[in-house]
Every structure is written in C-alpha cells, then in structure tokens.
Structure 1
Amino acid sequence: MQAITETQIKKFQAEFRKQKTHQVIANAVQTNGINQAAQNLAVQSQLEPTFSVEIKTGKVSNQKQSGRCWLFAALTLLRTQCAAEYGLKDFELSQNYLSFYDRLEKANWFYQRLVQTAHLPLTDRTVAQLLADPDGDGGQWSYAVNLIKKYGVVPKSVMPETYNSEHTQEFSTVLKAKLRKDAKDIRNLAKQNPAVSTLNDLITAKLAEVYRICVYAFGQPPRHFDLELRNDQQQLIQERGLTPQEFAQKYCSFNLDDWVGILNAPQDNKELGRTYCLENTNMVGAKTAKDLNLPIQRLEQLAIQQLQAGQPVWFGNDVLEQLNRQKGLLASGLYDYNSLFGIDLDLDKGLRLDYGQAAMSHAMVLTGVDLDKQGQPLKWKVENSWGDKIGTKGYFVMSVQWFRDYVYEVIIKKSYLSEQEQQQFAQDPLVLPSWDAIN
C-alpha cells in the first residue's frame, strides 16, 4: 500500500493552477453548491406536468421524518380504490396503525432469527447483518401485504399519526438498543439447547416489552372502532363496532394476491425470466414474496397497461439520484456532474447495483403517463409521500430515462402478464441474501 506523498500533492496543485477555468468553476461550486452549478436547464424544460393518461387522485400524504414510504405507497393504492368507490376524495388510511404492528412483527422475526443463527459466530455475515439493523421502519411491498392480510386497516382518523410515527429516529434508537441487548440473552440461552417452551417464554417476555414501547410511542391499536364520515356528496357512512379486518374486507376490497412484483436487476448474477425472493421479511410465517426479473422495457409496458386500466402502480426506486426535490423532478441528466468536474461517473444499471452505487431506497406510486402517437412513454406522473409543498402539490414528473435508470420494481396485476411470464413467475424463487443490493 502506498501513502499519498508531498510530491503528489505538489503535482496536483500545479495541475489545478494550469487551467484558469478551474478556479472559476471552484468559485461557482463553493458559492452555489454542486447541484445548482451542475443543473441542466434543458432537461428541466422537457418535464411539464401534463399527461395523456392520468388517474384521478386526491391530496398526497406525508411520511415526514420516517422511512415508511413503502407503506404509504401501498396504502395509496388501497385508498385510491376506496375513494373512487365511495366518493371519498381525500380519504386516508392509518399508516400509524400498520407501522405499530410492523415494528412488533419485525422484533419477533429478529428474535426467531437469533435462535436459528445462535450456533454461528457474531462475525458471520448473516449474524452481523441481522445485528446491524434489527428493526427499522423501511420495507417492501410484500411487508405491507403481510400486515394488511393479518391486521386489516383502519381510517387515519381512528389511529392518527403521533410525533414518534412521523419522527422515527428516536424510537428506532431506543428499540434497536433494546433488541441488541435482547440478542445477547436469546443467543446465550439458545446455545444451551433449552426446551422450546423455555425459549418461547423468554421471547414472549421480550415481545411484551416491545409492545409496551410501541404503545408509548404510537398509541394503542384499536381492536374495534366506530366508522363515521361523510363522502364528497355529504352522505353519511356510519357503522358500529367494526374490526380492522372487517373494514379492510368491506371498504378496501383489494385482492392483494392478484398483484405480483416485477423486477429489473440487469446483473450478471440475476438472469432474466427468473424469480427471486428476499431472505429478509417483516413477519414470521408470512408467504414468501418473489419478483420476476424482466427487461426494463417490459416494466414500462406493464405499467402503461395498468395505468390505462385506471389502476396506479407501486414502484421501488432510487429517489435521491438526479432529483430536484423542490420542483418535483426526476430526470437522468438533470445534473451534469461529469461536465462540471471533468470526470466520468457513468456505470450501467447492473454495475451500479454490483458496486453499491444503486439501491432500492424509496417507494412511490405512478398515477399517470404521457404517451406519444405510437403509445411510447414521454414522461410519467408520480405521487410521492413528502407532502404537498413540493412539486406540483406533491406530485412529481419523471423522465423516461430516469425510469429506465433508477426504477427497480413495479407491482403489477398478474392478469397483465403474458402466458409465458405467468409460467416464469410460477417457478420456485432463488433466495437473495439480506445484503443483496435490491433488498
């Protein structure tokens, strides 16, 4: 290994001074910031918020300082259907209700995995990954499906947001500290080969403490509730003593089993036409979720087909890439870092995944698309969950190239798949480790 030398530093300084434009660029970057100096106004001008196919939607939601985008996006699909059927334009379902059970279920999954891996050393990659993030508020489409199937849903008015549900860092800090402390106790006991009931009793006691912490932070989830609201025509909708499961079945009749994950991960270790599933989940006993890996152009076609049928599209993406948050723009080339710094940052999508430059870090909902005369996409309309103070009242415009570069998964109604794709989806999936880039 070679250390940086004084000779090298002098050479770097001399090379910088050779070009007077270097200092001009440095002044601009230091004064205005990198994105401001690198912005490409020509790209922005192509992103007017007009669309030939557009689903009627209401006011956007706001996840605030939390990582619950996956849940907000999933509940957006449910509430869009509910709003259309019952005339409830800005109706919203409780994200806090399902967030409560998500954290509780993740804690149980963590405890059970500790038992399964107790024979492995702490330095084992699986164990290290488990302890690195024992219970966060991030997730996948499949996590939302698991929760809705087991716990139902409730209106937001029944279990509204709290400070902690909207600002999850403090809660996560406490819970992760507790779970790592619990990990020591559970691993030590598991290594002694105790009776199953003994381990279960310990885990139940730990879960009771997690439940109490969740109630302190998020509130007590209702077992029954009264429904009282007026629709857009001021007609009263009223029912007494509903369970969350009954409410979901009646007012959100969205068959979650009809929808499947379509992946685009163009990597050498992931073949097209093959199904994959994640090692991690948020619930013990939940059905394994899987995705079919297809070319990005096929994801585009399926998303267009679903939008034309009046159905939104949940999609996983890397939102912080080439983003203008305030204007609500997502476009490849929005910022030209290569020209600004005189470097080459280009990697294809598969290599970005391989080398850690790409991640499925966010989930949003497609609610519209602008098509040319041949039916090809020109730009996309995106419903985000960052409130209505950004973009066009919270809605974003996404370029076609951004979709191809930074979208990794779409959730599509299975009936839109071709016969061959449905056969491919029926295969047993290959299991991806918890550290895989698309996890």
Structure 2
Amino acid sequence: MEQNLTIEQLERYESAFDADLAKKVAMRAVTANGIVKAATNPEVMRKDRHQFSVMLEQGKITNQKQSGRCWMFAALNTMRFAVMQKLNLESFELSQNYTLFYDKLEKANYFLENILETLEEPTDGRLISHLLKDPLGDGGQWDMLCNLIEKYGVVPKEAMPETAPSSATRELCTYMTRKLREFACVLRKAHAEGKAADELRTRKEGMMETVYHMLCIALGKPPKSFPFEIRNKKKEFIREENITGKEFFEKYVGWNMADYVSLINAPTADKPYHRTYTVKMLGNVKEGRPVKYLNLPAEDLKNAAIAQLKAGEPVWFGCDVGQCSIRDGGIMDLDAVCAGELFGTEFGMDKAERLDYGESLMTHAMVFQGVNLDEAGKPTRWRVENSWGKEAGAEGYYVMSDEWFTEYTYQVVVHKKYLTAEQLSELEQAPILLEPWDPMGSLA
C-alpha cells in the first residue's frame, strides 16, 4: 500500500462521495447552515422538558460575560442560595469581582513559589513549559474557591461591583501573564547567576507588590469592610454597618467549607475507583488545602447529588459543556447533535478513551437546581443553572439528560453527610499524586 496520499486515491474518494446522495444533501445543508445547526435534532426538545420532580428556586440568573469564572460563579451561586433562604430574599448576588481579585493575587504568588521550587528544572522541560503556559488563568476548582473563602470571605456584589476588565478578562490575563513570565525569567536567571535564596525572595516580594497594584488598577481595591443593606420579600429593611468579608460569610452563609467534598468520575485505567487523588502544583492559596478528589462510579455521584437536592440544597458540578449541547433552548443530550449521522460515520470512543486521548475533560462548572425522578426513583433529567445570562438556554437554565450526565459530567461537590459510611472512610485515604498535566487537573 502507498504511504503517500495519491491522486488516484482522491479520485476514488470523490467518486464514492458523488455516488452517495445523503452526503451530497448533507454538504448542501452544512455549507449553508453550519455543522451544529444542520445536525441539531429537534426531537430532543420534546423529551428533555424543563419540568422536574425535585426543583429548587433561585434568584435572577447570573452572567460571567467574557470571563472564564464559571467555577467561581457556580460556587457563589450555591452560596447565595443560602443567603437568600436565610434572609428571605427575592434575589441576591455575591461579588465575583471580589473573589476574582484575590484569586489572581494568590495564583500569582502560587506561580512564583512554584518557580522558586523548580529552579533546577530545564527551561524547555515539560514541567516548566506547563507552569509557564497559563500562570493565572481564569479557571479554577472547588477547593481553590474554598481557600479564597476561608481566607477572605465573600461580599455582596454592591460592595465590589464588576469592572470592564473583570467582565472581559482577556486583556488583564494577557498583561499579567506577560509580567509573570518575565518575573519567572528574572528569578531563574538570578539563580543561575548564583544569587542566594534570600535575595530571590526579596525580589519576589517586590514582584507581588507590582501584581497587587496591577489588580487594583484593573479591578478596583477590595473593601476591608462595608455596609450591608437590603430589603427582603416582606419589605423589611436589613442593615449592618462595617462588616468584613469573612464576617459576612460566617453570618449569612455559615458553611464549614471542609464539609463539602469533591467526587469525580474518571473511569480510566490509571485511576481506580474508591481512591483519592490530587494534582501536583495545582492550586491558588499557597497555605490552603490542596485539591482532593474521591473517584467513584457515575451512579455514586448521581446518588449523592440527588440526596443533597432532596434536602433543599443546590449542587456545584463540573462537566464538558461543549459536547452534544444546544444553547438555544438549553439542551444537553447525547442525541442533541447528530453529527455522526450527518457525516456518515460514528464517534465511538467511550468516556475513559476520551479522557486518555484528549477528546474530553472538564471545561465548565454549573449548578444543579433540580432533578426529575421516575416512579422507581431513578433520575431521567437534571435542572442546570448556568452563568451565561438569561439569553442562553431557557431563561438561563439548561436541562441535562441522565445519559449525558454519565458521559460528560466529571465532578460534583456535596456535603459529607450525603456520602455512605464506606465513602467517608475512602475519603480519608492519602491522595495519589497526579502529574500537573493530568486531565483531572483541568480547570473549569
């Protein structure tokens, strides 16, 4: 057989294409309308109804706009639910700019510490290349948000509103990344020149001051304390003067963040179920808790999420949102986009193979606000609160089929009390260390 692609082969391919009427019809549909639109299956709208046997009510839908803060929006949306319930509010929103400020600040420090810990690594090696690729991007993980909350608390949106750079973070990330790569270069060159560790740390201190100033210019200065004023559904006025972010969280959210744990479904051969995992050099707050997951079958993630929803509390989760989903109407279903039928082929990898071969990983975090259970108590579809504004989906909400959950949901966060005794015991294991570039190190 020929190693090269020959003209004769191309002619055979063209003849086969021309003889297939379905492919010619597909070509006309796709070239005029695009792949997803041509392959969209309208039948799923009938099946995936926005009706649920267990359904929580949330305030106005949030909008992360042109920023990659979905993990942050999703987490704060679970927390604002607690505030709204406690104060009997119609709607409420926590400041995503406040947590963004401290996330960028802490990620910069975490990055520079990683650079100081890897000074002997070659610049063109895989580890340094990985660290330099995205020093302080917008993405994050649940445990990273916990670290921010425990250190800085949360504030209402009015206490630190959005700015132009917080709502469209590309410019800020570009300039801060440029500066951090420069700082990494300075530190590594100084080390190569024989500078002492104390001098490198002194230089790092000056670098962090620059980072802080850049963030203040772009995002504004975060408040040390603020007045909290709001009116509830009964038109009663609530006021509190000079409350800090940590005090606000403790009083109005009141969670012990250590009680909330991450369950993942990664069915790859290198990650046996019922074991815990962490990822090297993944984090934001240097002194904070590391990212930690318990890997379980998908059905276990579903059972824990259902238990929490039945108890009246929403669930943070991470998934690969771009797979088999329709923005108009808000559908996440394996049959939503029939691309295989359109192209006359099959996309046959399973979940483990997609992870192993880079076809899928967690890309987005959202919130489960409900689930539909059949007569046997099994889930058929899930109610999803997104953070893309009310124009996306059905007034900001999506419906996810249970089969889609199985294939493309990778993580849920639940309170420990919804785990079995066996799972609680498994959670106590020392985590297995994954490499920094492992797919489970992806950030939503």
The TM-score normalised by the length of structure 1 is 0.98
Deviation of 1:14 (Å): 2.0
Deviation of 1:3 (Å): 3.9
Aligned to 2:392: 390
Compare 29-38 and 167-176 and name the one that shifted more: 29-38
- Whole-Å separation in 2 of the counterparts to 1:358 and 1:327: 23
- Whole-Å separation in 2 of the counterparts to 1:108 and 1:268: 35
Per-residue CA deviation, residues 325-379 of structure 1 (Å, 9 max, x unaligned), is 1211111111111111111212110110000001100000001011111100111
Aligned to 1:43: 44
CA contact (8 A) 2:328 2:394 kept: no
CA contact (8 A) 1:115 1:190 kept: no
Deviation of 1:273 (Å): 0.4
Instruction: State the AA in 1 paired with 2:179.
Output: K
- Whole-Å separation in 1 of the counterparts to 2:218 and 2:385: 28
Q: 2:335 aligns with which of 333, 350, 358?
A: 333
Is 1:408 the counterpart of 2:410 in the alignment? yes
- Whole-Å separation in 1 of the counterparts to 2:56 and 2:108: 37
Instruction: State the AA in 2 paired with 1:205.
Output: G
Return 5+ residue gaps in structure 1 as ranges.
none
Deviation of 1:127 (Å): 0.8
Query: Match of 1:197, SS?
Result: helix
- The alignment yields a C-alpha RMSD, in angstroms, of 1.3
- Whole-Å separation in 1 of the counterparts to 2:86 and 2:192: 55
- Whole-Å separation in 2 of the counterparts to 1:435 and 1:399: 30
Is 1:289 the counterpart of 2:291 in the alignment? yes
- Whole-Å separation in 1 of the counterparts to 2:21 and 2:300: 48
Query: Match of 1:216, SS?
Result: helix
Per-residue CA deviation, residues 94-141 of structure 1 (Å, 9 max, x unaligned), is 000010010011111110111111101012211110011111011111
Per-residue CA deviation, residues 38-75 of structure 1 (Å, 9 max, x unaligned), is 12222221011111101121111100010000000111
Query: Match of 1:45, SS?
Result: helix
Aligned to 1:155: 156
- Whole-Å separation in 2 of the counterparts to 1:338 and 1:391: 24
Aligned to 1:7: 8
Deviation of 1:36 (Å): 1.8
- Whole-Å separation in 2 of the counterparts to 1:17 and 1:196: 69
Deviation of 1:37 (Å): 1.6
Aligned to 1:116: 117
Aligned to 1:324: 326
Compare 91-100 and 281-290 and name the one that shifted more: 281-290
- Whole-Å separation in 1 of the counterparts to 2:5 and 2:118: 43
Deviation of 1:214 (Å): 0.7
- Residues 193 and 429 of structure 1, relative CA distance in 2, 3 Å threshold: farther
Query: Match of 2:92, SS?
Result: coil
Aligned to 2:19: 18
Return 5+ residue gaps in structure 2 as ranges.
none
Aligned to 1:54: 55
Instruction: State the AA in 2 paired with 1:282.
Output: N
Instruction: State the AA in 1 paired with 2:426.
Output: Q
Query: Match of 1:157, SS?
Result: helix
Per-residue CA deviation, residues 285-332 of structure 1 (Å, 9 max, x unaligned), is 111221110000111111111100001110010001111112111111
- Whole-Å separation in 1 of the counterparts to 2:52 and 2:219: 39
Deviation of 1:2 (Å): 3.9
Instruction: State the AA in 2 paired with 1:125.
Output: R
How do 1:137-176 and structure 2 match up within 5 A? 137-176=138-177
Identical residues among aligned pairs (%)? 42
Aligned to 2:135: 134
Aligned to 2:189: 188
Per-residue CA deviation, residues 138-173 of structure 1 (Å, 9 max, x unaligned), is 111111101000011110001000111010011111
How do 1:255-404 and structure 2 match up within 5 A? 255-279=256-280, 280-404=282-406
- Whole-Å separation in 1 of the counterparts to 2:314 and 2:159: 25
Deviation of 1:390 (Å): 2.3
- Whole-Å separation in 2 of the counterparts to 1:21 and 1:300: 40
Query: Match of 1:365, SS?
Result: strand
- Whole-Å separation in 1 of the counterparts to 2:225 and 2:4: 66
Deviation of 1:34 (Å): 1.0
Compare 242-251 and 399-408 and name the one that shifted more: 242-251
Compare 37-46 and 72-81 and name the one that shifted more: 37-46
Deviation of 1:192 (Å): 4.4
CA contact (8 A) 2:141 2:291 kept: no
- Whole-Å separation in 1 of the counterparts to 2:51 and 2:22: 40
- Whole-Å separation in 2 of the counterparts to 1:116 and 1:380: 44
Structure 1 segments (4+ residues) deviating >3 Å: 191-196
- Whole-Å separation in 2 of the counterparts to 1:20 and 1:376: 42
Aligned to 2:231: 230
